[in-house]
A and B are shown apart, each in its own frame.
Chain A
């Protein structure tokens, strides 16, 4: 089983050889741009107002950077798990081609999810490199933020893959981004502590996987993580990834093994 999934993974890696230049450029440039504009530029306004000192990390840039790391993992995951999955089912029909070989449905799914995990590790590693260049990785614990960011991404990638596999066209994806991904990006603790949200909205932010991802990455990056909360975040994110995988497996069987 494992080796069959590797062959499916190999397809995605092989295909990536043609497109990696563009994606690497944006994986590198977009964190640089965000860190410069929001961290340095906007950060200077926040820190001048005196509110910056009360934030975790003691300044807006230090507060923002690990939050952006987790949010970027989420956005990468959402992109990788929507159009490419739909394309492999309907447009390019890559999955159908794979299933005409000895590969099984579970191998096809496992290979593609493994590919998404690799992409997330790559994007997060580049982001961490940029963070280091901006001086926002104060402790060696920051290295642990790498798997944490990838796990955050998988908490989105797996359930979104399941969602994409049930769709007939890509119309639902823009709704997913507009009403799911972007609101989470803006309200789940990346740009400001969720304590600032009106009280009734705070529980909503708590249940979003992104808030757990942001909290985990921030605590690890700043070296302030404690075992209890950190394990809680990991378990919560892991549960989303696992449940998503189960749903995706069911959706793939329903869609492809007919």
Chain B
């Protein structure tokens, strides 16, 4: 069973994502800031990360950069979640090696589809 890491500092958003992923048949790990996210990736080796950009400590971009710097995580599928709907941010995220980019508020069905596709490609 694929494992998905949900990183967001909004408890209710984490709650909704956790429910959606579990319902889609994935195992879910959560983190509420950047440091926690890096720790969870190291401990739990998730197959995919849903990563919010505005985090209380380090930003989602920093987390993305650090993950990509590690060769072992170079191919780890990462979907950026953001409330900033700006084109610049999307481009920045893609340039840093994100696999996809989702603007809040998102369509739950589309997000689940994206996660499925990426996991299929990875395996």
**A joins B in a complex:** no
